[in-house]
A = this chain, B = another copy of it.
Amino acid sequence: MKVTSAQIARELGISRSTVSRALNGYPHVDESVRQQVLALADKMEYHPNLAARCLAKGEHLLVGVVLYAKADSDSFLREYMEDLLRGVELARRQLSDYGLHVETVVTDITRPEEQIEALNALAAKGAKGIAIAPCDPDVVAPTLDKLMNDGVQILLLNTDVPQSQRLCYVGSDYIQAGRICAELVGGYLQGKGSVATIIFDDRGTMTSQKLTGFREEIGHYSGIEMLGPYKFPRTGERVYENTCSLIQERQPDAIFMTYGELESVAQAVEDCGMAEKIRLVGFDCSQGILSYLRRRVISAVVYQDPAVQGMVSIKILHEFLTRNIRPRSSLVHARLEIVTHQNRAYYQRDSLNVSTYYYL
Report A's interface with B, CB cutoff 8 A: 1-2, 47, 49-52, 54-55, 60, 94, 96-98, 101, 170, 176, 179-180, 182-184, 187-190, 217, 299, 302, 305, 308-309, 311-312, 315-316, 319, 327-329, 331-338, 340-343, 345-347, 352-358, 360
Which of the residues B333, B341, B357 comes within 8 Å of A354, measured between beta carbons? B333
Q: 5 tightest A-B contacts by CB?
A: A51-B51, A51-B97, A335-B346, A329-B352, A338-B338
> A55 near B51 (CB under 8 angstroms)?
yes
> A341 near B49 (CB under 8 angstroms)?
no
Q: Shortest CB–CB separation between residue A159 and chain B, in angstroms? A: 16
Q: In the bound complex, how far is the Cα of B46 from the Cα of A26, in angstroms?
A: 35
Q: In the bound complex, how far is the Cα of B60 from the Cα of A356, in angstroms?
A: 26
Can you pick out 26 interface pairs between chain A and chain B where the beta carbons lie within 8 Å of each other? Answer: A2-B60, A51-B51, A51-B52, A94-B94, A170-B354, A176-B343, A180-B340, A180-B342, A183-B340, A183-B341, A188-B190, A302-B343, A309-B354, A312-B358, A315-B357, A315-B360, A316-B360, A319-B360, A329-B352, A333-B346, A333-B354, A335-B347, A335-B353, A335-B354, A337-B338, A337-B343
Known contacts A51-B54, A354-B333, A357-B332; is-contact A342 B98 (Cβ 8 Å): no
Known contacts A332-B353, A334-B354, A352-B329; is-contact A47 B96 (Cβ 8 Å): yes
- Nearest chain-B residue to A176 (Cβ)? B342
Q: In the bound complex, how far is the Cα of B51 from the Cα of A176, in angstroms?
A: 41
> B333 near A353 (CB under 8 angstroms)?
yes
Q: Shortest CB–CB separation between residue A27 and chain B, in angstroms? A: 27
Q: In the bound complex, how far is the Cα of B2 from the Cα of A54, in angstroms?
A: 14
Q: Shortest CB–CB separation between residue A177 and chain B, in angstroms? A: 9
> A180 near B343 (CB under 8 angstroms)?
yes
Write out the residue numbers on chain B whose beta carbons fall within 8 Å of the beta carbon of A179: 342
Q: In the bound complex, how far is the Cα of B51 from the Cα of A328, in angstroms?
A: 28
Write out the residue numbers on chain B whose beta carbons fall within 8 Å of the beta carbon of A50: 97
8 additional contacts, CB 8 Å, given A187-B340, A337-B338? A1-B60, A51-B55, A51-B97, A176-B342, A189-B190, A217-B342, A309-B354, A334-B353
Most buried by B among A55, A97, A184, A340: A97
> B356 near A328 (CB under 8 angstroms)?
yes
Write out the residue numbers on chain B whose beta carbons fall within 8 Å of the beta carbon of A355: 335
Write out the residue numbers on chain B whose beta carbons fall within 8 Å of the beta carbon of A308: 354, 358
Write out the residue numbers on chain B whose beta carbons fall within 8 Å of the beta carbon of A311: 358
Most buried by B among A1, A189, A190, A331: A190
Write out the residue numbers on chain B whose beta carbons fall within 8 Å of the beta carbon of A97: 49-52
> B60 near A49 (CB under 8 angstroms)?
no
Q: In the bound complex, how far is the Cα of B60 from the Cα of A42, in angstroms?
A: 23
Known contacts A329-B352, A332-B353; is-contact A342 B183 (Cβ 8 Å): yes
Q: Shortest CB–CB separation between residue A86 and chain B, in angstroms? A: 15
Write out the residue numbers on chain B whose beta carbons fall within 8 Å of the beta carbon of A189: 190
Q: Shortest CB–CB separation between residue A298 and chain B, in angstroms? A: 13
Q: In the bound complex, how far is the Cα of B308 from the Cα of A340, in angstroms?
A: 21
